[in-house]
Chains A and B, each alone.
Chain A
Amino acid sequence: MATHHAIRLGRLATAPSVLVLFMWMIVPLAMTVWFSLLRYNLLDAENAYFAGLDNYIYFVTDPAFSDAIKNTLLLVGTVLAVSVIFGIALALLLDQAILGRSIVRLLIITPFFVMPTVSALVWKNMMMHPVSGVIAYLFKILGLAPIDWFADAPRSAIAIMVSWQWLPFATLIFLTSVQSLDEEQKEAAEMDGASPFAYFFYIVLPHLARPITVVILIETIFLLNVFAEIYVTGSGGMAGNMPYLVYFQGLLNFDVGGASAGGIIAVILANIVAVFLMRMIGKTLES
Chain B
Amino acid sequence: MARAIPLQRRLFMTILAWAAGLLIFFPVLWTVLTSFKTELEAFSTPPKLFFFDWTLENYSIVQERSNYLRFASNSIILSVGSTLIALAFGIPAAWAMAFQPGKRTKDLLMWMLSTKMMPPVGALIPLYLGFRDMGLLDTRGGLIAVLFLINLPIVVWMLYTYFKEIPVDILEAARMDGASLWKELVFVLAPMAVPGIASTMLLNVILAWNEAFWTLNLSTSEAAPLTVFIASYSSPEGLFWAKLSAASTMAIAPILVLGWFAQRQLVRGLTFGAVK
Contact = CB atoms under 8 A, between A and B. Distances in A.
B236 to A, nearest CB: 12
Interface residues of B, number: 100
A74 interface: no
Contact of A121 (B168, B234, B263, B266): B234
B92 to A, nearest CB: 4
Interface stretch (B53-61, B190-198, B245-253): B245-253
Contacts of A274: 114, 117
A91 B259 CA distance: 19
Interface stretch (A27-35, A59-67, A151-159, A193-201): A27-35
Contact of B118 (A112, A116, A120, A267): A267
A221 B273 contact: no
A137 B45 contact: yes
In the complex, which of the residues A90, A109, A117 has the most CB atoms of chain B within 10 Å of its own CB atom?
A117
A14 B94 CA distance: 8
Interface string B78-119: 000000000001101101110111100010111011111111
Interface string A39-80: 000000000000000000000000000000000000000000
Given A113-B210, A115-B226, A126-B27, A232 B14 contact: no
A203 interface: no
Nearest to A233: B234
Interface in B208-245: 209-210, 212-213, 216-217, 226-228, 230-231, 233-235, 238, 241, 244-245
Interface size class of chain A, counting residues whose CB lies under 8 Å from the partner chain? 35 or more
Nearest to A228: B212
B126 interface: yes
Contact of B10 (A28, A97, A112, A256): A97
B214 to A, nearest CB: 10
B276 A180 contact: yes
Contacts of A228: 212-213, 216, 227, 231
Contacts of A169: 266, 270
B149 A21 contact: yes
Contacts of B10: 96-99
Interface string A92-121: 011011111101111111111111111111
Interface string A209-221: 0110010001001
B275 A210 contact: yes
Contacts of B101: 1
Nearest to B240: A125
A96 B13 contact: yes
B119 A267 contact: yes
Q: Which of B90, B168, B209, B216 has the most CB of A within 10 A?
A: B216
Contacts of A243: 119-121, 213
A14 to B, nearest CB: 5
B117 A271 contact: yes
Given A13-B95, A126-B241, A97 B5 contact: yes
Interface string A118-135: 111111111100001010
A110 to B, nearest CB: 5
B125 A35 contact: yes
7 contacts: A7-B100, A17-B112, A113-B255, A121-B248, A126-B245, A134-B30, A281-B110
Nearest first, the 5 closest Cβ-Cβ pairs linking A and B are: A10-B100, A113-B259, A28-B123, A10-B96, A13-B92
